[in-house]
Every structure is written in structure tokens, then in C-alpha cells.
């Protein structure tokens, strides 16, 4: 498959980042967005996106030459120019009606055989192509990038029964070789792979920290480096990606999953998070988040929020025996320790890993795809199944049963092997 020109529709954070990474690969990109009401410059949305990215840190563009490969335009005046593109990427608002209306316009101008894809992370491919032409469906994929697209290697690709195998293989080869992505084939299920498991992990970590009375510093330390997970753990990770994103992702998943899904049994509203968002504490992009930097009086003091009171206090370094033991014994030592850190790590990780085991082959063809998605999408050193091996499948199955939790069939098989 030859892709030498691309159109990206939607110049927001994701669309702009995708356009920048394509330009980094040496490919000319047409970046389109809406025309604001009353705008003198009809291309202003896309132009401003390019200008912001050219100055951003971390930089979406690898060079000034890459910036020049992006041409800014608007959907009303320049969509017909997408006829020159071999791949058209849609990254607009997550509304089915908006996307399908756009697809009809794209289908009217695109050249035969050009790939059309959506960067959606919430809408099923089957719904997106419903009512579209057979030829459009045959060329349509979901290409779910992770933010920021230049730096996050994961690209989840979702195909359907209408796609020819050579179409999917050709695009995946392009994404690998030209865009530098780790491509993982995901099934057309809610949240795909990484966010289905990652969102469960985050939700579980929040409610268990609240219920067990852990500080966020303790929670992040227990769910970070001892498990081969970045030191951000969960709460600092939410600060990084934006706390205001979490209710949106939660509602999207909850609206798509069945009532008996394990995620539905752990999710609950956390009033503190709603208050933080309302007060502008959305993370690093806001006034702060679960952590903040207090600069009053000319100082620079890192503070952490108390999950019960919502008050900030100077962040403290956790002093737990489980953390000391885990420096030598790794993940198994962390989740096996009897102190509150070990009990917390076991409560979160046992449920998360069991959830992952229960989802194969629903979300992916094999366990390797799941492991790769979590390594590339969440920067875990070991995927869920590699962590199960590190902890010990038999030990894990026994402890889950002792906890009164269901033991997935895949885990039982591994434990008996």
C-alpha cells in the first residue's frame, strides 16, 4: 500500500498531533477543521492548531521542515482536496451523527481505494459504517492513536468483515514502517484493549485508595515502580492526561458495557473529583490536580490532596515495608506483603489482571496483543499476562478464590499448566 498524501479532519489535540506525526514521516498533510461563525480567516482553527504545535513542549513536530508539510484549510472550502489523499483520518467530536454526516461528504469526494479511518476511542466501527456504501465500509478502519501521537507508540487498529485482509495488512505495514507505531489489532468492543483495561485499573485504584484510607502518595508508590509501571502510578497519571477526561471515559464505557461486566461493579461517582474539576483542578493543564505546586510566598512546595477532606498538604514520601521489600522482590513481593500497601496493591492488581484474563478472546485474538497494548499504551514494563506469570498463576488463582472472587477460565488453565 502506498500512502503519499493524507488528509486529517479535526484539528484538536489528537487530530493535530496525528497530522504532525504524519508530517514527521515526510508525508504532506491537509489539516481541516470547521469555519468559526463570523471568522475573517476561514482557516483559522487549523492554522492556529499548527502554530500552537510549532511552539509546544513536548514538540509534536520533529523539525521546522515537518511543520511546512502541513497545509491548513477548512471543511467547507477544501474537503474536495481530500481526493488527492491516500488516507483520510477523521478526528472530530465523538458524536455518531456528526461523524456519519462527515463520512457521506468524504465518500462523495475521495478517490477509489483510499483508506478512511476514525480516531474514535468510544464508538463501535459497526455503528460508524451503518448506512454507508459498501465501498466505503470496505475501506474504513478505526485507527486509535494514543496521546501524544508522536511519543506514544501504540496504535490500535480495528477492522471489520467488509475489509480485505490485504487492505488491513497494507495499512498496518505503513503505520509500522512510516509512522513508527506498534500496531495492535483490537476487536470492535468498548474501549478496545488498552483503555478497557486501563480505565478499569484506574477506577479500581481510586475507590480502593479511598476505602482503605491510603494517601495518594502511598497509592502511586504502590502501583508504580514495584510493578514495573511508571512512577506516576494512577493519581499523577490522571494529572498528566487531565482529570476532566476521566468522567467522560467512564460514562462512555458504562454506556456501552453490559450490566454484569466487572467494570460496572467497581465504578462509582467520586464527589471529590467532580469538585476538583469544577474548581479548575484538572491536572497539569489546570491549576493543579491531585498534586499541585504551591508557589505562595515565593516558594515551590509540592502538595498532595487528601482524598477524604479535599485539603492540600505538603507531599510526603511513603514509608511502607512493602515498598522496601518490593525493591528486591518486585511485583510478587509487592502484592504478597501484609501491610496496607501490599493489601492495596493486591486488591487493585488482582482485580485488574483477572479482568484482563476474562476479556480474551473478546477484546483481542491472544494474550500477546493485550500485553503489547498495555506496554505501548500505558508504558507498563510488563503486560497483564506477563505480570500474572511474575506473580504466579497458581498463587493468584488460589488467592482470588480465597477472596471469593471469580477465577477466569484462562487463569485457571495457566494455573493448572
Kindly state the percentage of the chain with pLDDT values over 90: 95
Which CATH number fits the domain that encloses residue 124?
A: 3.40.50.720
CB 364 within 8 A of CB 187: yes
Please report, for residues 45, 53, 62, 64, 239, the alpha-carbon distance to residue 57 in angstroms, rounded to integers and kept in the order given. Answer: 20, 8, 11, 14, 17
Examine the fold and report which residue of 185, 207, 234 is the final residue of a domain before the chain moves on: 185
How much is the pLDDT for 354?
Answer: 98
Rounded distance between C-alpha atoms, residue 186 and residue 166, angstroms: 17
pLDDT of 173? 97
Domain that holds residue 19: 6-185
Q: Is the pLDDT of residue 1 over 80?
A: no
Same domain, 226 and 355: yes
Q: 3-state DSSP call for residue 356?
A: helix
Total number of domains constituting the chain = 2
* Same domain as 268, residue 179: no
pLDDT of 137 above 90: yes
- The whole-number average pLDDT for the span 94-117 is 97
Whether residue 297 lies inside any domain: the answer is: yes
% of the chain surpassing 70 pLDDT: 100
Residues 267 and 122 in one domain: no
Q: Which residues pair with 6 in a beta bridge?
A: 29, 87
Q: Is the pLDDT of residue 299 over 90?
A: no
Q: Which residues contact 4 (CB under 8 A, 6 or more apart)?
A: 27, 28, 86
279 and 372 both lie in a single domain: yes
pLDDT tens, residue by residue, 357-369: 999 999 999 999 9
- Residue 306 confidence (pLDDT) above 80: yes
- Structure confidence by residue, pLDDT tens digits, 216-266: 999 999 999 999 999 999 999 999 989 998 998 899 899 999 999 999 999
The chain-wide mean pLDDT, for the chain, equals 96
Query: Does pLDDT of 298 surpass 90?
Result: no
Per-residue pLDDT of 308-352, as tens digits, reads: 999 999 999 999 999 999 999 999 999 999 999 999 999 999 999
The angle that helices 393-402 and 409-416 make with each other, rounded to 10 degrees, is 130
What pLDDT is attached to residue 278?
A: 96
Distance, in Å, from the CA atom of 132 to the CA atom of 331, rounded to the nearest integer, reads 48
pTM confidence score? 0.94
When pLDDT is averaged across residues 173-177 and rounded to a whole number, the result is 98
Residue that terminates a domain, selected from 185, 202, 225? 185
CATH of the domain at 212: 1.10.1040.50
Amino acid at each position: 500500500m502506498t500512502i503519499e498524501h493524507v488528509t486529517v479532519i479535526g484539528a484538536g489535540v489528537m487530530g493535530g498531533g496525528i497530522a504532525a506525526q504524519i508530517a514527521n514521516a515526510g508525508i504532506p498533510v491537509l489539516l481541516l477543521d470547521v469555519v468559526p461563525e463570523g471568522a475573517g480567516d476561514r482557516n483559522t482553527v487549523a492554522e492556529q492548531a499548527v502554530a500552537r504545535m510549532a511552539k509546544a513542549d513536548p514538540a509534536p513536530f520533529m523539525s521546522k521542515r515537518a511543520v511546512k508539510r502541513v497545509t491548513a484549510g477548512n471543511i467547507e472550502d477544501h474537503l474536495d482536496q481530500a481526493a488527492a489523499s491516500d488516507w483520510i483520518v477523521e478526528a472530530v467530536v465523538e458524536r455518531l451523527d456528526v461523524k456519519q454526516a462527515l463520512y457521506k461528504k468524504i465518500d462523495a469526494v475521495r478517490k477509489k481505494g483510499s483508506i478512511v479511518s476514525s480516531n474514535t476511542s468510544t464508538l463501535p466501527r459497526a455503528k460508524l459504517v451503518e448506512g454507508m456504501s459498501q465501498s466505503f465500509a470496505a475501506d474504513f478502519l478505526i485507527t486509535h492513536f494514543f496521546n501524544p501521537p508522536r511519543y506514544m507508540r501504540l496504535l490500535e487498529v480495528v477492522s471489520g468483515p467488509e475489509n480485505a485482509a490485504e487492505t488491513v495488512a497494507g495499512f498496518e505495514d505503513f503505520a509500522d514502517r512510516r509512522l513508527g507505531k506498534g500496531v495492535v489489532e483490537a476487536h470492535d468492543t468498548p474501549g478496545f484493549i488498552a483503555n478497557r483495561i486501563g480505565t478499569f485499573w484506574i477506577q479500581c485504584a481510586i475507590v480502593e485508595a479511598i476505602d482503605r484510607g491510603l494517601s495518594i502518595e502511598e497509592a502511586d508508590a504502590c502501583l508504580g515502580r514495584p510493578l514495573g509501571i511508571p512512577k506516576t502510578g494512577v493519581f499523577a497519571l490522571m494529572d498528566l492526561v487531565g482529570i476532566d477526561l476521566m468522567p467522560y471515559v467512564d460514562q462512555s464505557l458504562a454506556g456501552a458495557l453490559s450490566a454484569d461486566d466487572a467494570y460496572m461493579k467497581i465504578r462509582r461517582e467520586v464527589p471529590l473529583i467532580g469538585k476538583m474539576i469544577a474548581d479548575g483542578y484538572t491536572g497539569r493543564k489546570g491549576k493543579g490536580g491531585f498534586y499541585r505546586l504551591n508557589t505562595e510566598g515565593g516558594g515551590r512546595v509540592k502538595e498532595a490532596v487528601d482524598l477524604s477532606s479535599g485539603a492540600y498538604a505538603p507531599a510526603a514520601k511513603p514509608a511502607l515495608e512493602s515498598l522496601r521489600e518490593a525493591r528486591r522482590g518486585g511485583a510478587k513481593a509487592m502484592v504478597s506483603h501484609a501491610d496496607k500497601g501490599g493489601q492495596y496493591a493486591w486488591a487493585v492488581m488482582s482485580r485488574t489482571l483477572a479482568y484482563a484474563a476474562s476479556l480474551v478472546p473478546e477484546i483481542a485474538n491472544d494474550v500477546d496483543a493485550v500485553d503489547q497494548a498495555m506496554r505501548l499504551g500505558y508504558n507498563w514494563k510488563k503486560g497483564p499476562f506477563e505480570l500474572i506469570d511474575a506473580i504466579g498463576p497458581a498463587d493468584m488463582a488460589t488467592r482470588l478464590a480465597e477472596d471469593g472472587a471469580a477465577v477466569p477460565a484462562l487463569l485457571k488453565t495457566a494455573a493448572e499448566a
